[in-house]
């Protein structure tokens, strides 16, 4: 089911390289382009939105310890996950119904990911089949699944992922129940992409399903939605390949911890037995560097990725990633490291945040009278 998005990508046909000089300009353009209900869905979270704010607060509570007088003429910011090299250690995180942000949805996102040299995690909550997305470009693709059927259903989905050339499958594990997202409820906005049966299968998802997956399939498994050391340990004991630290962007359990606060205990529990991804308000180059410093192999980006899609389609996502790379390279160089892989715990310390946290508070120039971010 397609979703009308008023004014999307029609306001300005200027080359995004010239139009967007800072990341906050992409976010502002996305708000201008999107239907208010879709914009509220993008920026909203659960009930009091405390978890979403804590995601940002956790990032803002980390400060850098830079080293100086190193030769910084060559700085590398590439990353690697599950043996795949990436221009930046960034996954375009799974988001339901990418078509609500840009008509091409996953196809457009796949072209952008391939064009930049990064990976797309494609949610099965959408209208464009994974086969069409994979055919859009030769790039790195991960199938991100909510379980919507029995074992036979999962067998079919994994085979489709393999046939489409995916290098991993992700199971979302923090969504046994759908949360109360009050921005949507108050607006009486019912998301069309949530229609259909199968949610009871997600509620029944358990560790036996993980064990069956590892016994049956020969494709790497990512568990997305890990928020404690205990569950991280249980995951690696069952052979999970990637532990994805996430609280769904604050969109599931209210009053959870910020994802970056969770990351160190997960790193300790995993103890090198699996790779680690983290998301949760990662929107600036410095955010990415902090996550890598604290032990992540890569980060997921959802809201900012969707802003790029809404602002200028494929070119908007490419421009977002390019600006992010500039920010990462600057941060790494000013830390005194010649490679992102050299950044570690010695480069960071806890510090008091200086701004009130919000979904887009990483972009202070967005605050203006006509908009509430």
Please check the confidence at residue 8 and state whether its pLDDT lies above 80.
no
- Mean pLDDT for 5-21 is 65
- Mean pLDDT for 149-153 is 94
- Mean pLDDT for 191-215 is 84
Please check the confidence at residue 9 and state whether its pLDDT lies above 50.
no
Comparing CA positions, the residue from 359, 345, 291 lying closest to residue 54 is 359
Q: How far is CA 288 from CA 97, 275, 351, in A?
A: 25, 16, 17
Q: Which residue has the higher pLDDT, 199 or 122?
A: 122
Percent of the chain beyond pLDDT 90?
A: 84
> How many Cβ atoms sit within 10 Å of the Cβ of residue 365?
11
pTM greater than the 0.75 cutoff: yes
Q: Tell me, what's the pLDDT at 120?
A: 98
- The per-residue pLDDT for range 106-142, each reduced to its tens digit, is 999 999 999 999 999 999 988 899 999 999 999 999 9
What's the token pair of residue 79?
A: 């990353």
Least confident of 168-182, 239-253, 317-331: 168-182
Please check the confidence at residue 97 and state whether its pLDDT lies above 90.
no
- Residue 124's SS3 state is coil
Q: Tell me, what's the pLDDT at 208?
A: 96
d(CA 90, CA 88): 5
Active site residue 347: no
Q: How far is CA 345 from CA 59, 258, 263, 297, 348, in A?
A: 14, 18, 12, 13, 6
Please check the confidence at residue 190 and state whether its pLDDT lies above 90.
no
Q: What angle do CA 9, 14, 16 make, to 5 degrees?
A: 80
- The per-residue pLDDT for range 235-275, each reduced to its tens digit, is 999 999 999 999 999 999 999 999 999 999 999 999 999 99
Q: Tell me, what's the pLDDT at 197?
A: 60
Q: Tell me, what's the pLDDT at 199?
A: 77
Catalytic one of 24, 248, 255, 347? 248
Percent of the chain beyond pLDDT 70?
A: 93
d(CA 354, CA 364): 12
Q: Tell me, what's the pLDDT at 3?
A: 34
Please check the confidence at residue 327 and state whether its pLDDT lies above 70.
yes
Q: Tell me, what's the pLDDT at 1?
A: 29
- With cut-offs at 50, 70 and 90, classify the pLDDT of residue 6: very low
Tracing tokens 């604290």 back to the chain, one arrives at: 294
The gap from C-alpha 363 to its chain's centroid, in whole angstroms, comes to 18
Q: Tell me, what's the pLDDT at 179?
A: 79
Q: Which residue has the higher pLDDT, 6 or 313?
A: 313
- With cut-offs at 50, 70 and 90, classify the pLDDT of residue 12: low
Mean pLDDT, the chain, whole residue set: 92
- Mean pLDDT for 226-230 is 98
Q: Tell me, what's the pLDDT at 368?
A: 52
Please check the confidence at residue 285 and state whether its pLDDT lies above 90.
yes
Q: Tell me, what's the pLDDT at 7?
A: 36
């Amino acid at each position: 089911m397609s979703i009308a998005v008023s004014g999307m990508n029609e306001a300005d046909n200027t080359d995004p390289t010239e139009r967007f000089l800072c990341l906050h300009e992409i976010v502002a353009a996305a708000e201008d382009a999107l239907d208010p209900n879709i914009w509220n869905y993008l920026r909203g979270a659960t009930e009091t939105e405390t978890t979403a704010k804590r995601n940002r607060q956790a990032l803002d509570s980390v400060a850098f310890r830079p080293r100086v007088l190193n030769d910084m003429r060559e700085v590398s910011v590439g990353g690697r996950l599950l043996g795949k090299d990436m221009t930046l250690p960034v996954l375009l995180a799974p988001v339901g119904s990418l078509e609500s942000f840009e008509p091409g949805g996953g196809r457009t996102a796949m072209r952008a990911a391939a064009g930049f040299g990064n990976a797309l995690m494609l949610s099965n909550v959408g209208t464009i089949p994974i086969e069409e997305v994979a055919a859009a470009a030769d790039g790195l693709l991960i199938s991100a699944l909510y379980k919507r059927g029995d074992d036979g259903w999962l067998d079919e989905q994994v085979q489709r992922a393999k046939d489409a050339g995916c290098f991993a499958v992700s199971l979302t594990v923090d969504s046994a129940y759908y949360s109360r997202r009050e921005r949507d409820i108050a607006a009486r906005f019912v998301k069309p992409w949530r229609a259909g049966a199968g949610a009871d299968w997600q509620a029944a998802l358990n560790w036996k399903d993980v064990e069956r997956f590892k016994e049956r399939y020969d494709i790497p498994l990512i568990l997305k939605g890990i928020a404690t050391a205990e569950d991280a340990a249980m995951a690696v004991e069952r052979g999970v390949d990637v532990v994805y630290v996430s609280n769904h962007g604050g969109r599931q359990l209210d009053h959870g911890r910020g994802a970056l606060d969770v990351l160190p205990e997960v790193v300790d529990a995993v103890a090198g037995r699996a790779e680690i991804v983290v998301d949760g308000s990662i929107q600036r180059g410095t955010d990415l560097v902090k996550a890598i410093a604290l032990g992540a192999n890569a980060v997921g980006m959802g809201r900012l990725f969707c802003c790029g899609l809404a602002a200028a389609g494929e070119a908007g996502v490419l421009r977002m990633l390019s600006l992010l790379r500039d920010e990462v390279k600057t941060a790494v160089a000013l830390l005194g490291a010649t490679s992102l892989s050299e950044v570690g715990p010695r480069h960071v310390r806890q510090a008091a945040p200086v701004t009130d946290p919000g979904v887009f508070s990483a972009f202070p120039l967005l605050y203006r009278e006509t908009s509430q971010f």
